[in-house]
Chain A
Amino acid sequence: MRKFWIGSGLVSALVAAAFTLASCGGGSTEAPKTADSGAAPAGGPAATPDMDNGGTITGKVTFDGTAPKMAILDTSANPVCAKAHASSPLRSEEVVVNPNGTLKNVFVWVSAGLPADKTWQVPSTPVEIDQNGCEYKPHVIALMAGQNLSIKNSDPTNHNIHPQPSVNQEFNESQAPGTPPIDKTFPRQEIMIPVKCNVHNWMRSYINVVSSPFFAVTGDDGTFSIKGLPPGTYTLEIVHEKYGKQDQQITVGAKESKTADFTVKG
């Protein structure tokens, strides 16, 4: 019997070691992520972009290389999803090269150069993400810290929405068909928060939370436009879920328009 307890002790020690090691932390590297530790800076009245006198940065993100084939997603796990894509299969939006050779779903933002003591007014209109056809629409979204995110389910099936942030609060909620939208806010700046649905393991999306209003996401023409910037020198950064980050320094004056194009190598 003594040996039994010695053996039990050894097993317990191994379990304890696992707990200790597990609590040391770690992380996955699904997509490039950046985050700062604080919410939007406090102090002073909240400012809004000066659309009349501010500077504008426009540009496009060009894809250099052979456009990768968009992987076909297997939606057969749920007949509702399979039926929604019966005519043409659902494809991964990890890399979407537009017909004009530009890259879609690139997050663009002013990552540095804005006055640190300035707070920016949070828009009262929510940003919407819809679970539609068993995919997230849009695939990449951006909103301000504290701005409402309205999560819809337009599908006649259940989803669970599960963002996996690093500095914001993680949540995982189910959403039945026909139920009202779920409203959420992210109080802290965090880039490329992966979002997944564990009911449908192909569903992926990314949420970008920024403490200023100077950001954009490239669409079907691969272009972006950031308006109302105070005169200054900024770091303009682009982030793509597969191809990572790039940045440029750019100086913009009052009422001035500057172009900042990026090229992403495939």
Chain B
Amino acid sequence: MDNAWLHRFAVMVAVCTFLLVVAGSLVTSNDAALSVPDWPLSYGRLVPPLEGGIRYEFAHRAMALLVAILTITLAVWLERAEPRRWIRRLGWAAAVAVLLQAILGGAAVRLITPKAVTIAHACLAEICFGLVVAIVVGQELRLDSFSWAVETPAPLVAAIALFGQAILGAMVRYGLTGVAFHIIGAAIATILVMWAGLRIPLRRPALALLTLTFSQVFLGLGSYMARVVNLATPQPMPLTIAFTVAHVAVGSLAFGAAIALTMAPPVAHGGVALA
């Protein structure tokens, strides 16, 4: 490893970005997205009264600020210490994406959650996470150049399918489409992931991707069933929240694993560090 501390820092950024995705999912699942009607301040202050849904929304905002600072720091650090131009570019792409994500988050609050903005916010979160994962994988595997799907397009297709599922999931969450499309998409994505998993000789990352995707199918079913069971309840129920948040979290991890697998060179090695 050329710069072990830079790599550790990138891993930390990836972990924080993942936690931010989870925090965002907690906001949505608790129906707390608009509990703080102003932005960038919260109730006209830096720290609002931490009660009810405000706790989720403010925690999400605070984490977003932290992740934005960390991601920009990573981009600057990469610019100074990383010899590979493609990783430096990924660093800046991640920084731009996280800033755009903050603007989308602010726009969602100020414009009272237009569906296009909130869905874009959910999807860009996956892209932010994917970019940082790509940086980590590039460092971990000491890849000289950016090349994906060298031997087979299967992992790239799987990654695109998983991202498509993230888009469909967000559309279901915001009532733009029925759950049927997301279920059909899940079936297609699972088949593509299985194809990718079987085509790639890297056992550990392929197994990780397969495990995450199968777990994701189970969590998706659980999330749907919990929603159906609690359809008549007048407020979000803990079971529904737990399944939905886990579904989003594992979906992000599966997407990250697919990116890792996409970038991995076609040689057997110990495994890919999945952030």
Structural contact, A71 and B234, CB atoms closer than 8 A: yes
- Whether B270 is near chain A, meaning CB under 8 Å from some CB there, is no
* Smallest Cβ-Cβ distance to A169: which chain B residue: B112
Q: A73 at the A/B interface (Cβ < 8 Å)?
A: yes
Tell whether A15 pairs with B176 under 8 Å between CB atoms, given A157-B51, A198-B32, A201-B31: no
Question: Which residues of chain A from 137 to 173 have a CB within 8 Å of any chain B CB?
Answer: 157-158, 160, 162, 170-173
Interface residue A255 (Cβ < 8 Å from any Cβ of B): no
Instruction: Determine, out of B18-26, B163-171, B213-221, the stretch whose residues face the partner at the interface.
Output: B163-171
8 Å CB contacts to A: which residues of B140-194?
A: 145-149, 156, 160, 163-164, 167, 170-171, 174-177
* Docked complex Cα distance between A81 and B52 (Å): 9
Asked if A27 meets B54 with Cβ closer than 8 Å, knowing A14-B167, A15-B124, A174-B37, the reply is no
**Interface check A202, CB cutoff 8 A:** yes
For B210-245 the 0/1 string (1 means CB < 8 A from A) is 000000000000000000000011111000000000
The 8 Å CB contact of A1, one of B86, B115, B174, B233, is B86
Contact (Cβ within 8 A) A15 B120: yes
CA distance A23 to B147 in the complex (A): 34
Are A78 and B52 in contact, with the CB atoms below 8 A? yes
Complex Cα gap A158–B38 (Å):
14
Q: How far is the CB of B229 from chain A (nearest CB, A)?
A: 13
- Please name the residue on chain B nearest to A5 by beta carbon: B146
Q: Contact check, A172 vs B43: say whether CB atoms are below 8 A apart.
A: no
CB distance from A172 to the nearest CB of B (A): 5
Hey, which chain B residues are within 8 Å of A198, CB to CB?
31-35, 53, 57
Cβ of A92 within 8 Å of any chain B Cβ, yes or no, is yes
CB distance from B36 to the nearest CB of A (A): 7
Per DSSP, chain A at the interface is: loop
Smallest Cβ-Cβ distance to A8: which chain B residue = B93
Decide: B112 and A160 in contact? CB cutoff 8 A.
no
Residue in chain A with minimal CB distance to B55 = A77
The answer to whether A160 touches B35 (Cβ under 8 A) is: yes
Q: A173-B37, A176-B43 are in contact. Are A21 and B171 (CB under 8 A)?
A: yes
A66 to B120: give the CA distance in the assembly, Å: 45
CA–CA, A151 and B249, complex, Å? 38
Number of A-B contacts (CB under 8 A): 128
User: Would you call B53 and A172 a contact (CB within 8 A)?
Assistant: no
Assuming A174-B36, A200-B52, A201-B236, is B86 touching A18 (CB within 8 A)?
A: no
- Chain B CB within 8 A of A22 CB: yes
- Inter-chain contact A174/B43, CB cutoff 8 Å: yes
Q: Return A184 CB to nearest CB of chain B, in Å.
A: 14
Q: Report whether A171 and B34 are in contact in the complex, using a CB–CB cutoff of 8 Å.
A: no
A188 interface residue, CB < 8 Å from B?
no
Task: Tell me the complex Cα distance, A71–B237, Å.
Answer: 12
B116 to A14, Cβ gap below 8 A? no
Q: What's the nearest-Cβ distance from chain B to residue A5, in Å? A: 10
Given known pairs A19-B116, A28-B175, the reply for A14 and B43 (CB within 8 Å) is no
Residues on B with beta carbons closer than 8 Å to the beta carbon of A23: 115-116
- Complex interface bits, B108-142 against A, C-beta within 8 A gives 1, otherwise 0: 00001001100110011001000000000000000
Q: List 22 A-B contacts (CB under 8 A).
A: A4-B148, A10-B160, A11-B163, A14-B164, A15-B127, A18-B119, A18-B167, A21-B171, A22-B174, A23-B116, A26-B115, A26-B174, A74-B235, A157-B49, A158-B51, A158-B52, A170-B112, A176-B43, A198-B33, A198-B35, A200-B53, A202-B235
**Top-5 shortest CB links A-B:** A22-B116, A198-B35, A199-B52, A202-B235, A92-B234
